[in-house]
Structure 1
Amino acid sequence: MFISVPATSANLGPGFDTLGLAIDLRNEIVIKPARFHSVSTKGEGADNPKIKKNSLFLHIFHEQYRKLTDGKRATFRFEFTNRIPISRGLGSSSAVIVSAITAAHLAAGVKYNKRKILNTALRYEHHPDNITPAVMGGFNVACLEGERVYSKKRRLPSYLRAVLVVPDRTISTNRSRNVLPKMYTKEEVVYSLSRAAYMTALFMSESWDLLRIAAKDKIHQERRMRMMPELFEVQKTALDHGALMSTLSGSGSTFFNLAYADDAKKLAAVLAERFPQFRIMTHGLDNVGVIGKS
């Protein structure tokens, strides 16, 4: 069995817990029936004992496998190739959740569709902005109603690139949520709501040159960026050198920059020169989402 799942960038500025897109940077898992349980990990996190065990993946996989097989137990060999930076706001946890659920269906021989995978993933991650593009690929607008995710997808063109600035340290999701206020002014809410709606319209109509206006918000981004002040300079540098939009990816610490393919190489070079302590990555965008093959 083979499972592949893309990285994601969520929020995209004003689309707090609602907007997200998939990036062609993939984690892969190969699973084989075996007499004894074993795990091997290559790539991101391979030298971290906690990550190396892939405990979250194995917990979800076995829980879902038992549900799908009426309590049956089996042993497998799991081979992980991790390419998504961990705890950097690129959906590494959502990738684990989505891939584990998909893998459990494959191992159990149970048919599935992506909507089922998405709604199952909601049990483990109650914010749909990362899990939705991880499952569906493309740009997604998502909302929750009861225990279901309702979403719309737009395919992304091949002439766009994601230029990622990955800092050398993390911003924890819990800490980044704790810096947000309990209450907002009406003006702050309207400011961000209007731009989230506008951004959705721009993605759906492919009006890329207006994204820098739509990508502003007053809900979360600046408050979180203050925990790593150099990110303000990352954003300014990106917008001054060809980025169509520049936003904190998820809760950080990665910064997501969208650019035309012709501008991406120059933008990446400028960012690498200006911020040598950070990792600069350039990738296409993904329209496929999770892949599972028996």
Structure 2
Amino acid sequence: MRVSVPATSANLGPGFDCLGLAVSLKNQVIIKPAKFHSVSLKGEGSNNPALKDNNMFISIFNDFYYNLTQKKRHFRFEFFNEIPLSRGLGSSSAVIVSAIASAYAIEGIKVDKNKLLNLSLAYESHPDNITPAVMGGFNVACVQENEVKYINKSIPKSLKAVIVVPNRPISTQLSRKTLPFKYSKEDAVFNISHSSLLTAAFMSENWDMLKHASQDVIHQKYRMKHMPELFEVQKTSLKSGSLMSTLSGSGSTLFSIAYSEDANKIEQALKEKFPHFRVFTVDFDNYGVKIEI
């Protein structure tokens, strides 16, 4: 069986811990019954032996599989990773979602996406990454009484994601520590109003509103100070025609949305100005986690 989960970009500027969407970079795992436990890893992270020895996927998978079956079995896990590690593109959420989905699927037990989403919440308390990882598309989500409440919207093929992946990470833990302990009422109102406008823009497909709605005063400027080049990346992307450009999750990736006909021009402008960063264009993913048996 094969399970794939898309990369995600969370926050989208003002939607701190509540807005996120899925793009068509995928992590895939093929699982086969075996006489002995074995792991192979290709793609992102394949040069890191620790990922084989201390694998979060296998730990979560084994816990769920045993709880479901009361059995211990050996499997061969073959990982094919496209999602960059520790760059704000939801690699941890992809691991969590795929591990839980795999434990159910390998025994032929059906689990609907709503249940899978809420099971994932035990490992990731912020719904902005796990919701698009499960559902695909654009998502507005919050947590009430240990349950994710969300609204999902597909993203049309007329839009592309232009992604800039820097050559070094920004620590999520350090990133959160740099945020202010308190915010003014004015800053809170600014982000509430812009997050609301951004949600309305996605739902109504008013794409020209994205540049105005995606502004933020709560987290981006504090996080981007750890990598000041990102301010120039954002400026270049917007100047070249992006509809919006925001820090992806806690960084260090910079994520932009563009009309399909503008994406190549934006990508080339960013590649020329930032040759030491990875720059590429991808589609959006409207399906989320996918299980093939």
Match of 1:132?
131
In the alignment, the residues of structure 1 paired with residue 196 and residue 103 of structure 2 have an alpha-carbon distance, to the nearest angstrom, of 36
Identity of counterpart residues, as a percentage? 59
Match of 1:254?
253
The DSSP-based 3-state class of the residue aligned with 1:162 is strand
In the alignment, the residues of structure 1 paired with residue 99 and residue 49 of structure 2 have an alpha-carbon distance, to the nearest angstrom, of 19
User: Could you list the runs of 4 or more consecutive aligned residues of structure 1 that deviate by over 4 angstroms after TM superposition?
Assistant: none
Match of 1:242?
241
Match of 1:158?
157
CA contact (8 A) 1:90 1:254 kept: yes
Q: Give the structure-1-normalised TM-score.
A: 0.99
Give the counterpart letter for 1:9 in structure 2. S
The DSSP-based 3-state class of the residue aligned with 1:158 is coil
In the alignment, the residues of structure 1 paired with residue 91 and residue 270 of structure 2 have an alpha-carbon distance, to the nearest angstrom, of 23
Query: Unmatched 5+ residue regions in structure 1?
Result: none
Report the CA distance between 1:53 and its aligned residue: 3.6
1:224 matches 2:223: yes
In the alignment, the residues of structure 1 paired with residue 235 and residue 136 of structure 2 have an alpha-carbon distance, to the nearest angstrom, of 28
Match of 2:92?
93
Q: Give the structure-2-normalised TM-score.
A: 0.99
Count of residue pairs the alignment pairs up: 293
The DSSP-based 3-state class of the residue aligned with 1:108 is coil
Change (3 A) 1:263 1:53: farther
Match of 1:283?
282
In the alignment, the residues of structure 2 paired with residue 58 and residue 66 of structure 1 have an alpha-carbon distance, to the nearest angstrom, of 12
In the alignment, the residues of structure 2 paired with residue 53 and residue 135 of structure 1 have an alpha-carbon distance, to the nearest angstrom, of 26
Match of 2:16?
16
In the alignment, the residues of structure 2 paired with residue 250 and residue 53 of structure 1 have an alpha-carbon distance, to the nearest angstrom, of 27
In the alignment, the residues of structure 2 paired with residue 54 and residue 116 of structure 1 have an alpha-carbon distance, to the nearest angstrom, of 27
Report the CA distance between 1:111 and its aligned residue: 1.2
Report the CA distance between 1:293 and its aligned residue: 1.9
Report the CA distance between 1:54 and its aligned residue: 5.8
1:266 matches 2:265: yes
In the alignment, the residues of structure 2 paired with residue 54 and residue 24 of structure 1 have an alpha-carbon distance, to the nearest angstrom, of 26
In the alignment, the residues of structure 1 paired with residue 165 and residue 52 of structure 2 have an alpha-carbon distance, to the nearest angstrom, of 21
Match of 1:49?
49
- Equivalences for 1:92-241 in 2 at 5 Å? 92-241=91-240
Query: Unmatched 5+ residue regions in structure 2?
Result: none
| 1:87-120 deviation per Cα after TM superposition (whole angstroms, max 9, x unaligned) | 0000000000000000000112211000111000
Give the counterpart letter for 2:156 in structure 1. P
